[in-house]
Structure 1
């Protein structure tokens, strides 16, 4: 017969798993409903049957034929990839330089970076909008991408933690061999940071992909819009096209799901085991 302590541990484990399963169900049920509804006929979207009966691909045909879904997806991929790449190009040397600062200066700089993360992005909308309007960057990729670099501080903080976890003996050996700081970063740190870079890149990509407010202001033209505000094209004068709208929403999630599935192991390893293993 199991002891009372073993019984309590078993009950606690079952309770935690039940709570997690309930949380997953709450998060995934709306997605499953939208997926099922995207295969329904216009008259069956709001019926009581959660499954499409009969199932149809008409919503996807309308979304890809009558609306510029593919153009919106291409614009979003270019924007998200550009934001991710530029933020990493800035964050990697910044995080390396931050680690090399003396302790007192290091703490001050980290505090300043954290303060930038606490500033609501919405408070920067007006100056950024006026800047790209003055430069003539509305409805352009520079206008979409460059203002979003204000969020680089998060990548700097995450990469700093991974760089600090690298043993100092590894860096010291490279310096004794005559490597300059740039060579240490390029030849020693970057190979060690590949899992962390992959994880941070995915977080940055997903954040940029889901951005709504800035793209809706910087690129209001449907030919230059991204997928999040561009889904508003399904709200026609005759009323919302719910079926094609749901189909477009499902198509918008495919790149993110594919990226995460291909790199989920790397993301887990990077955040569960920072630095060297």
Structure 2
């Protein structure tokens, strides 16, 4: 066995690689995108609102220029912003093709953070709302995986797909009713397993990262003025607190790394402060 440093110690560098992040203007993506840029990757942000996504891309690039020098010297990759509804298969294909052409390389890392949750009692859930949520959270995860994988398969290149699932894909949240969200995330987890099995022969790894409650700006807004909701959630977490977005960076870099997680595929990595244990 080769016990050389490079063979034993995994690298989390992504120099020369292109990473695509959906939900690119969201709170989780804002931290993940900075970590990927710091590791040398080009970053393409996708979201529905182009103005908000363009602003996020500008902030990301400025952060890189201000931060990745001196003590933290690192090459600054190319950053781009794109508007796309991931529930539209045709739009996804056009967008992913355009991203690869724009960056003049084929994306090898995909992080799908796009998705949303609604709270309706199951017996009152409007059919149109249920269909739209499943189209984005469920089919959207499939569409972006397809459009990401096709050029990799055609060019015999490796890749890593990280679909953001949720602990809601394996447990039922309380006290809020969210049957469709739970169903969609359970589907995402099993989709990742299915794609992992089909695409292993192409050296494309597919995994899910399933967070618990995250203190994103959106979540902070939900619990603002609702201390009973915050207390209900935290009482069910062994660590007695919600996560900061930065606490998922290590998991993302692990799953994106070709050396750190080279034998990891079809896995659902739950990061929930212990919520599922109870």
Q: What's the TM-score bracket when you normalise by the shorter of the two chains?
A: under 0.3
| TM-score, scaled to structure 1 | 0.25
Structure with greater contact order relative to length (CA < 8 Å, sep ≥ 6):
1
- Structure with bigger gyration radius: 1
Normalized per residue, the structure richer in helix is: 1
Normalized per residue, the structure richer in strand is: 2
| TM-score, scaled to structure 2 | 0.25
